Structure 1
Amino acid sequence: MIEISEKENQLYIGIDGGGTKCRATVFSTKDGVVGTGLGGPANPLHGLERTLESIMVSTQLAMKDAGLDTNDVKQVVAGLGLAGVNLPGLYQKINEWHHPFKRMFLTTDLHTACIGAHKGEDGAVIITGTGSCGFSYVNGKSTILGGHGFSQGDKGSGSWMGLEAVKACLLDLDGLGPHTMMSELMLKHFEVIDAMSIAEKMAGKPSSVYAQLARIVFSCADKGDLVASVIVRDGASYISDLACKLLEQNPPRLSMIGGLVEPLYKWLDKDISMLVKPPIQPPEMGAVYYAQQSLLSN
């Protein structure tokens, strides 16, 4: 059991919430990382209650993993990096939450991802997961590019690729578009036999469900499927353009973070892929650093 002493040891919890999952890390100033936990989706744009639930699930699991009692959360300083809170209305709603922590400091998942990737130093990051976005922090100035949400953008992301794949397959199956091997895999994935059934399966589904289909797109693109290749190249071109725009700020480092980093990397412009450096720490540790910095400045 970890002894919590204000004078000797302050506990922090770093929380990274995105469209697919929420990760939490308990960090002790004395012992380092002592516990981790994983919850569900935590993008308030897709549901405030679900976001708060995911934050608490990941927090409780991380506290348990650290050997701490649930009530000890009252002594923990929390740093939250959440998707969607770049929108002022959502930021306000989360910030007004009657949270259980000793203190809570809120920012975007982009900010904490950048802090973690460069271990508190200046730099730029591109998020390529369920959604997509670019962020740089250089000489005290932050720049956000993209991150407009699934229905308005998120080009190059898993959800965007999944949506483009579904649209291409429906055209193919209706005989109105070019043939793609993705169609057969989609039918098999949904266990259906026609286009209308795929449309029914995906009706009203959130971005995280579309993002699960990205693996089909990459698999077919790697096998030379023309339609899948066009989707991947289009997405990779956007991510490369995003990187070029961020590099205009002269960040000392550029990193990519998210579930699509590995499959997308080889499709990027060569001059961009050569500049991408691996993140030093994950976003949840960036949230810990943010909490520490914010506590010191308050």
Structure 2
Amino acid sequence: MIQSKQQAKNKILALIFISAFFISCDFTPRLHKKILEAQGYIKNQQYQKAISQYQEILKNNPPNDIKVKVNYQLGELFSINLGQNRKALPHYTEIKTLTESPIWLVKSEERIGEISFTYLKDYMLSEKSYKLLINFTPRLERYDFYQFRLAETYLKSNRYDLALKELMSIQESKGHKHYVDSFFQIGLLNFQKKNNQEAINNWTEYLKRETRKSKLVQTKFLMANAYESMEKLKQAYNLYYSILGDYPNTEVVQNRLNSIYQRRVSRKR
């Protein structure tokens, strides 16, 4: 339910955003009519008709500033409204060949990075996007997010040395917006490398700083998993028990508790 509400909100925001694009543009009457028709299709959720209309506009070779806005809208329609992210990417990429406007270059790169990381799991492409955004001059307002996402990109693709380098850089700046999150990610890095005790140490530091209940519960579950892997069953049992009722999947936690109980009983025989 929450996800569907968020998706609906995203579509509404996209519609508002798209409608605002052409307000300051000077159109020929024919082009103006086509754009209004496309916006009407979007308003009525006739997304394929809107796409066809915008594609027709591009075929008529309008000025580059119009091409930029139309391509961005096509990217949003494919990605946000239809969930066809692979079809969205070429439109965002095309924008970078049509303009040198910092606003449009950043907006399109952000969308490429988000789609490649979150939906396509193409971490080489997301790495490229977030590196470009980090190196943008002057430094962008969302620099901290781009750096953290780059670290996540490295971690997702098992490039642990590069991930650790970025995360340690974040930890050196207590004012960084993802300073606290970096402790969790370093723990996750060590957990993936099967350095369970180091992961537990990292997560212990993270728990001292984190306040969000859902994050605390998730971290304790992973810590319990690490203890279990180390055969420290008492510590694992206590942690699993502490989140029973709070972890989203109660059955999973209960099964872990039962399994550990049986293993501890077997040890005593």
Q: Looking at both structures, which has the greater relative contact order when contacts are Cα pairs under 8 Å and sequence separation is at least 6?
A: 1
Larger radius of gyration, structure 1 or 2?
A: 2
**Under TM normalisation by the shorter chain, which class is it?**
under 0.3
Q: State TM-score, norm by structure 1.
A: 0.21
More helix by proportion, 1 or 2? 2
More strand by proportion, 1 or 2? 1
